[in-house]
Structure 1
């Protein structure tokens, strides 16, 4: 059975976790991307059903490698998933063993697509990265006082306009010099 997930063009801050139901010997072949003249072969991307996937923003690892931290701790401390998102799922996350796939929103690089995850991937959940709360406190520095309306508009220094002014002014200056020379020599 295939799991469908929409990835929007503006997706940001989501972490998708999948269990990989393969033996340790099969993982390298599944995770590694190979190129040939006619084909770009990547079983992981194909199982995820992605049309675009940046491998710099995915991780495949054995949960046992996390030792005492565990998958729950890694998701909280390493991936920044909010404690609220993880609270209800702690028993299920702690029970996960074997290899997992972590896919960050950045892996899709703004390409809107629909994922069709299928075996050997098993979707475990999609979580939000915790972000700092927005604060609208005034800045303490005196330099931050005042308003934008008090600021004069910036002076535009356009080299093209300067050149155009020089071209227009040059004949006028030559005409004035010629007139001055004619008056002196007469």
Structure 2
């Protein structure tokens, strides 16, 4: 029975692993379209029309000698070690061609894939995301958000003009009072 996978348009960081029952010669052309009108064999095997092969890896597992598929998932693709550890012995014991399909291969479009021969689904893993930490802000100044007024608002031109006129009137009142006092 074939597995069916629904890929959301917003999917990010999901890694799907397939065994590819291909010879070395078949693997060389599996991701390549023979011409513009004919989809590549990988498109038919996954059941999709559009696929960005920049986010697909197809290679013999013998290339991972010393690291193993489990190590490659952790060190090369950023999957959390605790997610891979329960399957590590099974992943590292595999041989033949492996196909790794990253979320970006579907170009941000919602789609459904149903892998068929020569592909066999092995597992789906998620890239380890960096944990988000919420710490108190270091100072009160850092708490101000852009656009938030700080301190007193600037004085308008009318207010400044009114203040000058008021001070001028007070000065004139004092001056007139002095004149009357001196004359008197």
TM range (shorter): 0.7 to 0.9
Higher mean C-alpha displacement, 44-53 vs 110-119: 44-53
Return 5+ residue gaps in structure 2 as ranges.
151-184
Offset of residue 57 of structure 1 = 0.7
2:103 corresponds to? 105
Aligned partners of 2:141, 2:61: CA distance in 1, in Å? 50
Task: Report Cα offsets for 1:6-44 as digits up to 9, x if no partner.
Answer: 1011111100000001122221122222224xx133001
Q: How many pairs were matched up?
A: 150
Task: Report Cα offsets for 1:74-133 as digits up to 9, x if no partner.
Answer: 100110111121121111101111111111111112111110101100100110110011
On the 8 A contact 1:19/1:124 being kept in 2, the answer is yes
Structure (1 or 2) with the greater strand fraction: 1
Q: Secondary structure at the match of 1:51?
A: coil
1:60 corresponds to? 58
1:27 corresponds to? 27
Q: Secondary structure at the match of 1:19?
A: strand
Question: Cα gap change, 1:147/1:18 in structure 2, threshold over 3 Å: closer, same or farther?
Answer: same
Aligned partners of 1:6, 1:26: CA distance in 2, in Å? 27
Q: Secondary structure at the match of 1:34?
A: coil
On the 8 A contact 1:52/1:111 being kept in 2, the answer is no
Moved over 4 A (4+): none
Q: Which has the larger radius of gyration?
A: 2
Question: Cα gap change, 1:141/1:33 in structure 2, threshold over 3 Å: closer, same or farther?
Answer: farther
Q: TM-score, normalised by structure 1?
A: 0.74
Offset of residue 149 of structure 1 = 6.5
Structure-to-structure mapping, 1:50-89, within 5 angstroms: 50-89=48-87
RMSD (Å), alpha carbons: 1.9
Higher mean C-alpha displacement, 20-29 vs 128-137: 20-29
Question: Cα gap change, 1:137/1:100 in structure 2, threshold over 3 Å: closer, same or farther?
Answer: same
Offset of residue 146 of structure 1 = 3.0
Aligned partners of 1:87, 1:54: CA distance in 2, in Å? 29
Question: Cα gap change, 1:142/1:40 in structure 2, threshold over 3 Å: closer, same or farther?
Answer: farther
Aligned partners of 1:151, 1:43: CA distance in 2, in Å? 61
Return 5+ residue gaps in structure 1 as ranges.
153-186
